[in-house]
Structure 1
Amino acid sequence: MAIIYTKAPAQIVLTKTQTADNEFEVSLKPLLQANYGITFQNMSAADGFVPQAIEVPQRDDARGYFSMKQTTIGLEIKKESTTKENSFYSYLEIDFYGKNGATAPRFKHGFIRWKGLTIGQTASNFSDTEIFPNIFDFNGPSGLLYSRRIQVSYSTHFSKKETLSLSLEDPNTPSISLPSNNYLGWRKRAILPSLSGVYRYGDERSYIKAGAIIMPISYAMKENMGDNYKTCTIAGWGAMISGKLRYDERNIFSFESSFGNGIATYNADLNGEKYDAVPDPAHKNLLETLRLFNVVGIYEHWWNPKWSSVAFASYSKVGGKDFIPTDMTKILYHMSLNLIFQPYKRFRIGIEANYGIKRTFDNQKAPAWKIQTSTSLQL
């Protein structure tokens, strides 16, 4: 039987107490990972492979890069109870992607969970972390919906196979472009939270998900220097469908497709790149949301219990307003293939290749390659 890496979480129990009705446990969950990669074309991001970061026009600029920033340290606190209603779980995690490229601690996850209610920062409800493939690159396919958000979410089971999750997420989530000649001082405002809902049907082996989101985008504007600010709010919206099919113990197929207007910041590659809304010069520079379409296919194969490979292909398209700045990204392609040797269920070593293409709205395009070797150990 194949040993599936993602199903083997490691932990170091720091303390554990047992009573008649409860079990309280505090555990440390460290992951050590070291990468050495060579990028053959110029990219503005050194860590991971990010097609959005490919520089256009392209310059061949081979560079080697060593990093341990993907190392994470997690602290888990949980209380198991004989009555599920009293169970409690909390988690805190840091990695080492510091500001300005520094190798320094960075807050990643921090939340508490009780009775299906989650409060804190973790992966957005409008994403599917279950299909993240068994790869070394922390970014993953560029077309995936993945972001971490401060949120209040609630999950409930309709049956053994049916789950519905709802969330209200950080109103500061939208990432927008303001007019380039912003002498009037327009500014982004955080007012209303995003609202998402995701339905899941299936079990741990195979399932399908469908979800939707509404994301209010607010900003303060004025037409003349002496005017008072007034708040404008437009609505971003999106839908997604994803799933996983475990054909047998050796073959796993996963997919995700998403589309909408003004939701680019939920995309793994466009997060924070100001692609949710841009100003329309023909209409007093008022912001308009941009369309986004993503599709990702992932195939994982276990050659035997110790050797595995993952191949994926991803496509994203932004569009399509005639006033979009020509240097903005229009299309992203991303493909990857790896070979991983896993002699123990908590230790991996392997090689991974990534290839991407970035095309802008003035039809310039640039490809990029990256090959990396990696080792990871869950203590």
Structure 2
Amino acid sequence: FPGAWRLPGTNSAFKVGGYVRTAIVLNWDVLEIPDRFIVGSIPVGTYNDQNAAQSSITADQSRLSFDFRESTRAGILRAYIEGDFTGEGNTFELRHAFGQWDRVLAGQTWSAFVDTNATPEGVDFEGLNAQINVRQSQVRFSPQFGENFSLELSLEDPNPQIQNGSGITRIPDVVVAGRFQLHQRLHLKAALLARQIRGQEASPDGTDTVDGNIEKQFGWGYSISGSFNTPYFDDRDKFLFQINRGDGIGRYVNDLNSIGNYDGIFDQRTGDLQLFNVFATYGSLQHWWGNTSRSNFTLGYVDINNPGFIEGDAYKRTIRASANYMWNPIPSVDTGIEYLWGRRENKDGEHGDAQQVQMMIRYMF
């Protein structure tokens, strides 16, 4: 396969890949993590002004991958490992680690609920607030039906995130997804998610002790996404979109996963476990200015229907808007600059805004 070394005397090939990425981030407002744009972490109300203006230069988002493939009479066997250096103290952090034979995959990679082909291009390492964006361990079967349609059936690590308690689900998440592809000009994906949200209530005394009653609820969600060409100015221009809704799917939505614990919540007055109803959507237009440069204009929206007992300072909705300019001076080098604006609104109607500018240069190998 392209870029691989053939191992002498075998039917196997091996490739080392990745990129070196340096990012410069300029913040005008407070964010909990200054090197990315997590909209849900925008403070609402008063905050320490000393933390308002921050900047960072980092290379920990650089990536390294190892791809091994072997040709056998039963088909192609593949083992793939990829990581970056965003762990504590710039340590290596695993992103992907899976084995694949023909249509069967086992290991950690993007959830089948994710549509990587509908992901907008951007500079921000965090990514869009409203997109389905989670990597986890799974066992997946992906049959192909003709040239244009494929199916994904996946059992995935549940790992529910629950407020006022701890997730102890026994049953894996189940994802069924169908994808329609028409050449390179159009693709559509529809995915269904079913999951058990099972948790044990934390002690109401404010400690971390988890010894209360055990409750479970049925979580569900759907995602409809796609991309299509919009060749009004350039044949390569395209529009990408995604619409997501469900109960107990917070961990799959990028912004909610980043701030954590938005699958469900225990009502400590009654001991009942209630799920968060989530709606998330985005649209993104990519326009090419020439052979090596393009821009992406993206808007994302997340909304939570909170249970009535939650306090007024709880997350209600976020909006994220971005515009960027990307340039490839040579095929192996990416550069970009991006402006980001975001708003977090709480249940009580109070809100906070933030702005950020990011620049990056990336050398791919």
1:271 counterpart SS class:
helix
Alignment of 1:179-328 (within 5 A): 187-203=166-182, 205=184, 206-221=186-201, 231-248=214-231, 249-271=235-257, 273-281=260-268, 284-328=270-314
- Aligned counterparts of 1:13 and 1:201: Cα–Cα separation in 2: 30
- 2:14 is equivalent to residue 26 of structure 1: yes
1:44 counterpart SS class:
coil
Q: Shift of residue 154 of structure 1? A: 0.9
Q: Shift of residue 327 of structure 1? A: 2.2
Assess if the C-alpha contact under 8 Å between 1:317 and 1:332 holds in 2. Answer: yes
Q: Shift of residue 220 of structure 1? A: 3.1
Assess if the C-alpha contact under 8 Å between 1:32 and 1:72 holds in 2. Answer: yes
Gaps of at least 5 residues in structure 1 are 1-9, 179-185
Q: Shift of residue 15 of structure 1? A: 4.2
Return the letter of the residue paired with 1:357: R
Q: Shift of residue 14 of structure 1? A: 4.5
2:190 counterpart SS class:
strand
Alignment of 1:1-379 (within 5 A): 13-17=4-8, 23-57=11-45, 59=47, 61-80=52-71, 85-99=74-88, 102-171=89-158, 173-178=159-164, 187-203=166-182, 205=184, 206-221=186-201, 231-248=214-231, 249-271=235-257, 273-281=260-268, 284-379=270-365
Indicate how the Cα distance of structure 1 residues 321 and 349 shifts in structure 2: closer, same or farther if over 3 A, else same.
same
- Aligned counterparts of 1:293 and 1:18: Cα–Cα separation in 2: 54
- Aligned counterparts of 1:166 and 1:39: Cα–Cα separation in 2: 42
- Aligned counterparts of 1:224 and 1:268: Cα–Cα separation in 2: 29
- The normalised TM-score by structure 2 is 0.90
Gaps of at least 5 residues in structure 2 are 206-210
Q: Shift of residue 290 of structure 1? A: 0.8
Q: Shift of residue 351 of structure 1? A: 0.9
2:142 counterpart SS class:
strand
Q: Shift of residue 11 of structure 1? A: 7.3
Assess if the C-alpha contact under 8 Å between 2:25 and 2:35 holds in 1. Answer: no
- Aligned counterparts of 1:104 and 1:117: Cα–Cα separation in 2: 31
Indicate how the Cα distance of structure 1 residues 209 and 222 shifts in structure 2: closer, same or farther if over 3 A, else same.
closer
- Aligned counterparts of 2:180 and 2:9: Cα–Cα separation in 1: 35
After alignment, is 214-223 or 335-344 more displaced?
214-223
Q: Shift of residue 190 of structure 1? A: 3.1
1:269 counterpart SS class:
helix
After alignment, is 201-210 or 89-98 more displaced?
201-210
- Aligned counterparts of 2:226 and 2:142: Cα–Cα separation in 1: 18
Q: CA RMSD in A?
A: 2.3
Task: Percent identity, please.
Answer: 25
Deviations 1:34-59 (A, max 9, x none): 01110110011223111011112265
Q: Shift of residue 32 of structure 1? A: 0.8
Return the letter of the residue paired with 1:193: P
Return the letter of the residue paired with 1:92: I
- Aligned counterparts of 1:42 and 1:332: Cα–Cα separation in 2: 15
